[in-house]
Structure 1
Amino acid sequence: MSLRLRVAFGSIGVGLAVLVLKYVAYRLTGSVALYSDALETVVNVASSIAAVIAVWFASKPADSNHPYGHDKAEYFAAVLVGVMIVLAAISIFRAAWIGFFDKTELIYSPLGLGINGLAAIINGIWAYVLLRVGRSHRSPALVADGKHLLTDVVTSLGVLVGVGLMLVTGWRVLDSLLAMVVGLNVLWTGWEVVKESISGLMDEAASADVQDRIRQMISDHGEGALEAHDLRTRIAGRVTFIDFHLVVPGDMSVDTAHDICDRIEQAIGGALPGARVTIHVEPEHKAKHSGIVVL
């Protein structure tokens, strides 16, 4: 089992443990803000399950029906996570609205607040793990899950401070206001996750910095060629697809041109793990003569 898949499975266990802790904190205090915080954790568990399915599917090797691999499956999971986050936000808004008219006395429970704080610490540690593994293995699903957890940590800490202040002052309305703030923060996170995932599904190009690095590597390792042009890139999960035209002297042998391509591909592959490079070799007299000059 790959590290990505193990971490994805771990998220389910961590999510369930945190959900139990936050629900206990809510039951001890009766706070709608803590209830909203627990409700967001339900989304964490659901999104972790979606991430497991996506990471497993994306790890499958390329086949005859999917010659470019299955990496884009993670983007679908990330979109699903974003949609679930938005639904959670709607549920939080509903709970907050009901809370405005609820006159039930809240219970001051240091134990409840402490348990919610412990849940936030666990989430913070696991968010760091998800972001670290997700970025190093270029996994959109794990990164989306990590960002969601990190937002959960921030909102949990804010809720803890606010609920503590409310219990001390007796201002009951603060509970619902805090829940509304949590809902807005969750809604914003959902939008960010969906936006980034849609960019991946739409074959967004690599960043300008990455493209500059690719151009430099072509120039540094393309000795024997004359120039390169029509560089194109696209991101699909862990994989960066790169293609360009390489101009060589008209009398150069195929074997020599192939060696040049190998050098460039190895250089790019070393700098961008998972990169898939396609090079179209063309003779000088048929080239556009515009683009990357090979030194």
Structure 2
Amino acid sequence: MLLGANLFVAISKILVGLVINSSSVTADGLHSISDSASNIVGIIGITLASKPKDTEHPYGHKKFETISSILIGLMLLLLGINVIKTSISKLFNPSVLSITIESLIVILITLIINIFVAIYENKQGHKLNSQLLIADSLHTKSDIFVSIGVLIALLTVKLGLSPIIDTFASFIVAFFILHASYEIIKDNMSSLTDKNMVDEGVIINILKEFKAINDVHNIRSRGHNDYIFLDMHIKVDSNLNVDEAHTLVHDIENTLNKKLNKKIDLIIHVEPSNKI
């Protein structure tokens, strides 16, 4: 559904841009084309990421989703650079615009579709804790602001202002594209580079409710927004037997899952409190 909506929006914008000779509308259409491409990348990424753990990937396949999100960001980066190059060319070779009421209506309709797609994707992304859907919703959200800017530019030209406004609007389009690219790549590089995913202080505060734990240290975390690999060392009374220690570890894992509202893959090294 999302792929079909994005293709409709992209083709409509490109056709309108070519008919009225508008560089900003054409650039906006190319931006929407990248939405469709990102949907395809997203489908592939989610399919690969949903595969269960196996002997070759004991930590699962979630990083395929991260890689797919970064690919979407890189696609936007290349697109933004291309729009800037085209806009610079238009500055030195201005063209006459042929703006019609029909073209404005088409752009308004595509804007409404983009708003629906962005809201739906963002809602589903947070519901499913999917980095990829959230990244794609940011992509589409940038398209909304771009389309609003393009629509305003065309209206001002229609009212008699200089057509060069259209070219400046295409630079604004490029800015939003590059900003979306930056946000997507930045957010997903964290999990790709094993950045710490949970603040150590948060973990220590949660574990204060366990009276059996005398100390927590060597806390490390990595992973994704929705799935975190966490390991730590805890000190407990040396009289604690194996069964009690085992139960304690499971209670800690369940508590962390509940308090952090994330899936926690936990490994705990248990030490006696009197260890030197």
Same-fold call, TM > 0.5?
Answer: yes
Unaligned 5+ segments in structure 2 are: none
Residue of structure 2 in register with 1:129 after alignment: 120
Distance 1:246 1:103 in 2: 69
User: Which residue of structure 2 aligns with residue 65 of structure 1?
Assistant: 56
1:262 maps to which of 238, 246, 250:
250
Structure 1 distance, partners of 2:198, 2:80, is 31
Show the counterpart of 2:272: 283
Letter in 2 for 1:259: T
Counterpart in the other structure of 1:236: 224
Q: Is the 8 A contact 2:197 2:225 kept in 1?
A: no
Residues 34-60 of structure 1: CA deviation (Å, up to 9, x unaligned): 011001011111111111111111111
CA distance in 2, matches of 1:223, 1:170: 72
Preserved CA contact (<8 Å) 1:15 1:45: yes
TM-score by length of 2: 0.93
Q: Deviations over 1:223-247 (max 9, x none)?
A: 3232222211112353111111121
CA offsets 1:118-172 (integer angstroms, 9 cap, x no match):
1111111111121122123221111111101101101110110011102212401
Q: Does 1:152 align with 2:140?
A: no
User: Paired residue for 1:51, among 29, 42, 57?
Assistant: 42
Alignment partner of 1:119 out of 107, 110, 113? 110
Q: Matches of 1:201 and 1:113 in 2, distance apart?
A: 42
**Is structure 2 residue 200 aligned with structure 1 residue 200?**
no
Q: In the alignment, residue 261 of structure 1 is paired with which amino acid?
A: V
Contact 2:198 2:221 in 1 (8 A): no
Paired amino acid for 2:167: S
Q: Determine if contact 2:197/2:224 at 8 Å carries over to the other structure.
A: no
Which structure 1 residue ranges, 5 or more long, are not aligned?
Answer: 1-9, 288-295
Question: Hey, what does 2:205 align to over in structure 1?
Answer: 216
Q: Partner amino acid for 1:24?
A: L
What's the counterpart of residue 27 of structure 2?
Answer: 36
Q: Which residue of 2 aligns with 1:293?
A: none
8 Å contact from structure 2 (residues 3, 40) kept in 1: yes
Structure 1, residues 11-52: CA drift from partner, whole Å, max 9, x if none?
322211211222233244221110110010111111111111
Alignment of 1:83-94 (within 5 A): 83-94=74-85
- Deviation readout 1:75-101 (Å, 9 max, x if unpaired): 111111111101111221232223224
Distance in 2, Cα, partners of 1:240 & 1:17: 38
Q: Which moved more, 1:14-23 or 1:173-182?
A: 14-23
- What secondary structure sits across from 2:61 in the alignment? coil
Q: Pairwise CA RMSD of aligned residues? A: 1.7
Query: 8 Å contact 1:71–1:237 — kept in the other structure?
Result: no
Once the two structures are overlaid, the 10-residue window that deviates more, 124-133 or 35-44, is: 124-133
2:167: which partner in 1? 176
Count of residue pairs brought into register by the alignment: 275
- 1:245 corresponds to which residue? 233
* Aligned mates of 1:273, 1:200 — CA distance in 2: 15
Question: Contact (CA 8 Å) 1:47, 1:145: kept in 2 or not?
Answer: yes
Structure 1 pair 83–207 and aligned structure 2 pair: CA distance change class (3 A): same
SS of corresponding position for 2:60 = coil
Inter-partner Cα distance in structure 1 for 2:214 and 2:80: 56
TM-score (norm 1): 0.87
Where 1:286 maps in the other structure, the secondary structure is coil
Identify if the C-alpha distance between structure 1 residues 237 and 63 changes in structure 2 by more than 3 Å, giving closer, same or farther: farther
1:108 aligns with 2:99: yes
**Aligned 8 A contact 1:72 1:237 in 2:** no
Question: What displacement does 1:103 show?
Answer: 4.8
1:4 maps to what in 2? none
Q: Percent identity?
A: 27
C-alpha distance in structure 2 between counterparts of 1:252 and 1:170, whole Å: 81
> 1:110 & 1:204 partners in 2: Cα distance?
51
* Partner Cα distance (1:14, 1:205) in 2: 37
Deviation at residue 215 of structure 1 after TM alignment: 2.4
Q: Which residue pairs with 1:81 in the alignment?
A: 72
- Paired residues of 1:33 and 1:175 also in contact (CA < 8 A): yes
Distance in 2 separating the partners of 1:38 and 1:119: 10
